[in-house]
Amino acid sequence: MKAVGLSGKKLRRALEWLASRLSELERPLEKIRIYRRGKRLLIKLPGQELELWSGQMQLSFEAMETVSVAKRPRAEENELRRQRQEAERHFQRGLELEQSGAPLDEVMAAYRQAGELDPTSAGAFVNLGTIFFNARSWKEAEKHYTKALEADPNYPLAHFNLANLYDERGDRARAFHHYEEALRLKPGYADAHYNLALLFQTTGQAMKALKHWRTYLKLDPTSSWATIARREMKKLQGAALISSHRVTTTA
C-alpha cells in the first residue's frame, strides 16, 4: 500500500478505520491506496474513492465509467420503447389507410415501417401477408406469415392465415397443423373450426368434420356461415345413415 502525505499516527488511524469498514475484503491492504487531495484524505478502492473519517463516496474515473455502463442499458431500453411506439403509430396508420381504401402501396409502406422499427410487430407482418395472399402471391404471403410467427409463436391469427394459405395451395398436412395450432391457442376460434371441418370433410374424415361443425355452430349459430355449416352437417349425417343402412342390410 502506498501512502502519501500522512503521518504514522494518521496512517494507523486510517488503517483502523479501514479494518472496521472493510473487514469483509480479502487482503485489503493490497487493494487500497490512501492519499491527500487538498485538505481531504481519500481512500482509493477499485472503481471508487472514499473520504477518510466521513466515509463519503467520491466518484473516481473508474467509477464514472461504471456508472456510464450501468446507465447504458436504460438508454437502450428507452430507445427500444421509443421505436416500438413509433412502430405502433405506423401500424395504426396502416389500418386506417386500409380501412379507407387507400392505395395498397401506401398501406404496405406503413406496415413495412412498423415491421422495420419493431421486429416483434406480428400484426404488421400478418396484414402484409394477407395483402399478398389476396393478390395470390403465395411466396410473399408465406414469408410474412412466417415472420409473424417468428415474432409471436402464440399468435392464433398467424397460424390460421398460414393454414388458409397451405389449404389453398393443396398442402393439407401443413394446413391441418396450423389450424390445430390456432385452436390449441384459442379453442373458441370459430373460423378455425369452420375451416378445419371443411378440410376434414374433403379428406373423407366425416366424424372429425362433424365434431368441428357442431363446435362451430355453438360458437356462431346465427350467421349466414352457420346456414352452410348446418347444410354440410346434414350431408354428412345423411351419408352416415346411408352407410349404416347398407351395412345393416348387407349383414
Query: Per residue, what are the HEC states of 80-133?
Result: HHHHHHHHHHHHHHHHHHHHCCCCHHHHHHHHHHHHHHCCCCHHHHHHHHHHHH
Distance CA 166, CA 147 (A): 16
Rounded to an integer, what is the distance from CA 205 to the centroid of its chain? 36
Q: What is the pLDDT along the chain (251 residues), one digit of tens a residue?
A: 444 444 555 556 555 655 655 555 555 555 556 556 665 656 665 545 555 544 444 444 444 444 454 556 788 888 888 999 999 999 999 999 999 999 999 999 999 999 999 999 999 999 999 999 999 999 999 999 999 999 999 999 999 999 999 999 999 999 999 999 999 999 999 999 999 999 999 999 999 999 999 999 999 999 999 999 999 999 998 776 544 444 444 44
DSSP letter for 43, please. Answer: E
Task: Taking the CA atoms of 213, 216, 220 and 225 in sequence, report the sign of the dihedral they define.
Answer: negative
Find out whether 92 and 127 touch, Cβ atoms under 8 Å.
no
Q: What's this model's pTM, rounded to 2 decimal places?
A: 0.67
Per-residue pLDDT at 238:
76
* C-alpha to C-alpha distances, 152 to 78, 147, 157, nearest whole angstrom: 22, 9, 10
Per-residue pLDDT at 38:
60
Going from the N-terminus, what domains does the chain have, and what CATH number goes with each?
8-65 (no CATH), 82-174 (1.25.40.10), 187-251 (1.25.40.10)
CA torsion 217-220-221-227 (nearest 10°) is: -80
Angle in degrees, CA 33, 34, 35, rounded to 5: 120
Per-residue pLDDT at 26:
56
Residue with cell 467509477: 63
Give the N- to C-terminal CA distance of the chain in Å, as an integer. 105
Distance CA 224, CA 199 (A): 19
Task: Estimate the share of the chain in helix, then strand, then coil, as percent rounded to the nearest 5.
Answer: 70, 5, 20
Distance CA 104, CA 119 (A): 21
Find out whether 41 and 9 touch, Cβ atoms under 8 Å.
no
C-alpha grid cell, residue 106: 401506401
Find out whether 126 and 145 touch, Cβ atoms under 8 Å.
yes
